Structure 1
Amino acid sequence: MTNSLKVLLIEDDMIEVMKFNRTVSKLQLNLSIIEAKNGEEALEVLEHKDRLPDVILLDLNMPKINGIEFLSILKNNDTLRYIPTVVLTTSSNQKDLLECYKIGIAGYVIKPLKYEDYVEKITRVLEYWSINELIKG
């Protein structure tokens, strides 16, 4: 892959951010990570139309604007609605899952408790979006 995959990680838990970055550093993928602590901060990042991410990884349980509210704003924006968004959450609530798919997510991944399982899931998600034809420039 010649292009760098630009990932916007929206996560308010710094331990989860550190775990994600630790996992990504082990991978042999060409990634560029942008971090936002909540939906409000993520919307500010997305105002820069010349630097939009290729994929968004979104936590649901966040302060200010939660994940579902963020998704609704994102999918109602003509420019941003096409950015693939994968929910990365601890919520196994069926209502959350159905609501997210109804709004228009690209995937729903439940964060496992075991670190090895987490690494496996993150690896699969990032490898998939690294080779996906939709995001190739």
Structure 2
Amino acid sequence: MVTLRTILLVEDNPDDEALAIRALRRGKIVNNIQVARNGEEALRILLGVDPLPTVVLLDLKLPKIDGLEVLRQIRTQERTRRLPVVVLTSSSEDRDIVESYSLGANSYVRKPIEFDQFTEAVHQLGLYWGLLNEPFPPNF
């Protein structure tokens, strides 16, 4: 039996959330998708779920706890420090890119403005991280 790996989407904008989920489903990505709508909720999920999601798609501009702080806390916890985190944000500011990579982001993807480009970008992320990439073995 194949167990589908979960993708955690951390996104506070309902339109971007809906587009991302639609893009994954349109691209035939059938992984479970869990959504956190702020940084506090994302950390609560990550510290409480087992198994961990296969990847976190993380927006930077979040309420309660911003995405950079979420990433910082992910990387300081033994349980989550190897968890793949893809920053998926509208920010193209150099300081956000540098800080994201400095904190251990696995990838930084700027959200395209056009629907078709956004759909394709999210589809490719879901395909690679949700299906192709081999996650770090649990309990290793």
- After TM superposition, the score normalised by the length of structure 1 is 0.93
What is the CA deviation profile of residues 11-57 of structure 1, one whole-angstrom value per residue up to 9, with x for unaligned ones?
11111111111112212223100100111001111122423111000
Deviates more, 1:76-85 or 1:24-33: 24-33
Aligned match of 1:57: 57
Please give the secondary structure, in 2, of the residue aligned with 1:50.
Answer: coil
Q: Cα RMSD between the aligned structures?
A: 1.5
- Listed as ranges, the gaps of 5+ residues in structure 1 are none
The answer as to 2:31 corresponding to 1:21 is no
Partner Cα separation in structure 1 for residue 77 and residue 21 of structure 2: 29
Paired-residue identity, %: 36
Deviation at 1:62, TM superposition (A): 0.8
Deviation at 1:135, TM superposition (A): 5.3
Runs of 4+ in structure 1 deviating by more than 4 angstroms, as ranges, are none
Please give the secondary structure, in 2, of the residue aligned with 1:21.
Answer: helix
Partner Cα separation in structure 1 for residue 84 and residue 37 of structure 2: 19
Aligned match of 1:66: 66
**Residue type at the aligned position of 2:78:** D
Aligned match of 1:134: 135
Q: Decide whether aligned partners of structure 1 residues 122 and 90 sit closer, same or farther in structure 2, where only a CA change above 3 A counts.
A: same
Deviation at 1:5, TM superposition (A): 2.6
Please give the secondary structure, in 1, of the residue aligned with 2:81.
Answer: coil
Q: Is the 8 A contact 1:3 1:30 kept in 2?
A: no
- After TM superposition, the score normalised by the length of structure 2 is 0.91
Partner Cα separation in structure 2 for residue 74 and residue 24 of structure 1: 24
Partner Cα separation in structure 2 for residue 114 and residue 136 of structure 1: 37
- Listed as ranges, the gaps of 5+ residues in structure 2 are none
Aligned match of 2:32: 32
Partner Cα separation in structure 1 for residue 75 and residue 114 of structure 2: 32
Aligned match of 1:91: 91
